[in-house]
């Protein structure tokens, strides 16, 4: 649809209304001068529809941007702490200590949905198919088994526990593939109605992945694994890429490389898993109603695959990849902050202990399959 033509005599109110000369527009604190937003950006040259969108989403997006900057600053001093972890914790703190005005909500919703999908698409630029193929057929098969068994086993255990289908699918994706990014991708496909389920899944990923950083190397020492085997086990079973990097880096260079490449092989399975979830949801929607059905392959999943292919072709310069990595981290951190702002501590009393029990069982399942697979493949 073509936006309405811009009126040169139009001015902008703080509420997003556009008035023309001859009408009276109230002045509020959101505008320090005609056409200026918070006294910083001159918006008077934008079309009215764009102006309204900026004013509606701007406050929440600016809040997300501030949270991202804080998270990146802390991460620069503490590299083993994921910016996404910091962002979601910051969001929870903000929501439960401050009273956020309603004006922030549209921007936070935009970050938790659309910006999150941009981050997932750019995640594909971390993957090089030749590196994953270099793992060998045995380890590639282990990765496939970990993801498949982890998802199906978690779904089955969650069903036996009486947990909702959306909640157990979010936990299964996060614990079996790539942590918070996978939770976000699942949410992007199934469009979870209860955002508390999304935040619960992310919080559980953060909790169990963080606990794995000290526990997994200790367990590997008791079992008698070599540094490379320990790295492979970490990559095959730990949830977040940052957590895998922390484990591998604490052991040595060879362990770090093995851990990261194995983990990225799991990330690569994000696309086919999301495609399967989308097909199942599409068939389910078709059986229930003849109305709207989810797309066969979500656009952001296709974008993720395109980025993997683009990176694997080797045509992108390092400067572009570095910039994309910053944008990807910022987009996912902004989304995690927005999700954190949806958490009220009282929700954990309503959720109960069942998701925690399911997360424990899922971690045990994925870790066991990963360990057995590494021992057989190496």
The total of other beta-carbon atoms located within 10 Å of residue 230's CB is 26
pLDDT digits (tens, 9 = 90+) for 217-231: 999 999 999 999 999
Q: What is the pLDDT of residue 41?
A: 54
Torsion angle of the four alpha carbons 162, 163, 165, 166, in this order, in degrees rounded to the nearest 10: 170
Q: How many angstroms separate the CA atoms of 279 and 295, rounded?
A: 8
pLDDT for 27 equals 43
- For the chain, the structural domain boundaries read 11-57, 80-377
CA–CA dist 22, 120 (Å, integer): 48
Strands 36-37 and 41-42: antiparallel
pLDDT in tens, the chain (378 residues): 444 444 444 444 444 444 444 444 444 444 444 445 555 455 556 677 777 777 788 888 999 999 999 999 998 888 767 787 788 789 888 888 888 888 898 898 888 878 888 888 888 888 788 888 888 999 999 999 999 999 999 999 999 999 998 999 999 999 999 887 888 888 878 877 777 788 788 888 878 887 898 899 999 999 999 999 999 999 999 988 778 877 887 888 888 888 888 988 898 898 889 888 888 877 766 555 555 555 666 677 788 888 989 999 989 999 999 999 899 889 988 988 887 787 777 666 666 789 999 999 999 999 999 999 999 997
pTM of the model: 0.69
Sequence-separated (6 or more) residues with CB below 8 Å from residue 90: 67, 70, 71, 337, 340
Q: What is the pLDDT of residues 74-108, one digit of tens each?
A: 988 887 677 877 887 898 888 888 888 888 988 98
For residue 328, what are its two tokens?
Answer: 């990807």
And the tokens for 264? 């990225």
- 147 C-beta neighbours (distance < 10 Å), count: 27
What would the two tokens of residue 228 be? Answer: 């490379």
The Cα angle at residue 53 between residues 52 and 54, in degrees rounded to 5: 90
244 by DSSP, 3-state: which?
Answer: helix
Torsion angles phi and psi, residue 295, rounded to 5: -65, 155
Maximal C-alpha separation, the chain: 82
Report pLDDT digits (tens) over 245-278: 778 878 888 888 888 889 888 988 988 898 888 8
Q: At how many degrees (to 10) do helices 137-160 and 354-377 cross? A: 160
d(CA 229, CA 233): 6
What is the helix (H) or strand (E) element at residue 203, kind and residue range? helix 195-223
Residue whose pair of structure tokens reads 């056409």 in the numeric block:
35
> What's the pLDDT at 31?
43
pLDDT at 42 (0 to 100): 56
- The rounded Cα 364 to chain-centroid distance in angstroms is 23
């Amino acid at each position: 649809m073509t936006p309405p033509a811009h009126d040169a005599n139009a001015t902008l109110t703080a509420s997003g209304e556009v008035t023309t000369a001859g009408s009276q527009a109230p002045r509020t604190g959101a505008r320090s001068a005609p056409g200026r937003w918070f006294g910083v950006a001159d918006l008077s040259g934008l079309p009215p529809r764009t102006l309204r969108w900026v004013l509606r989403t701007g406050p929440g997006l600016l809040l997300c941007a501030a949270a991202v900057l804080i998270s990146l600053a802390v991460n620069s001093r503490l590299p083993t702490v994921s910016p996404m972890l910091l962002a979601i914790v910051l969001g929870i703190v903000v929501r439960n200590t401050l009273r956020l005005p309603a004006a922030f909500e549209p921007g936070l919703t935009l970050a938790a949905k659309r910006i999150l999908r941009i981050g997932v698409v750019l995640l594909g630029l971390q993957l090089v198919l030749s590196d994953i193929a270099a793992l060998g057929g045995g380890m590639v098969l282990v990765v496939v088994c970990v993801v498949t068994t982890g998802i199906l086993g978690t779904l089955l255990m969650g069903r036996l526990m009486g947990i909702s289908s959306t909640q157990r699918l979010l936990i299964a994706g996060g614990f079996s593939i790539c942590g918070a990014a996978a939770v976000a991708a699942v949410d992007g496909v199934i469009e979870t109605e209860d955002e508390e389920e999304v935040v619960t899944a992310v919080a559980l990923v953060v909790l169990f992945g963080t606990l794995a950083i000290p526990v997994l190397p200790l367990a590997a020492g008791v079992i008698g694994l070599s540094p490379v085997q320990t790295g492979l086990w970490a990559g095959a079973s730990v949830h977040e890429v940052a957590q895998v990097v922390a484990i591998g880096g604490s052991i040595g260079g060879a362990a770090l490389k093995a851990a990261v490449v194995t983990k990225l092989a799991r990330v690569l399975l994000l696309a086919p898993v999301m495609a399967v979830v989308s097909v199942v949801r599409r068939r389910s929607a078709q059986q229930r109603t003849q109305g709207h059905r989810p797309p066969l392959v979500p656009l952001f999943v296709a974008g993720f695959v395109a980025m993997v292919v683009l990176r694997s072709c080797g045509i992108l310069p390092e400067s572009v990849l570095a910039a994309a990595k910053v944008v990807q981290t910022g987009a996912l951190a902004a989304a995690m902050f927005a999700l954190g702002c949806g958490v009220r501590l009282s929700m954990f009393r309503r959720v109960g202990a069942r998701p925690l029990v399911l997360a424990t069982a899922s971690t045990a399942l994925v870790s066991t399959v990963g360990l057995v697979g590494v021992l057989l493949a190496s």
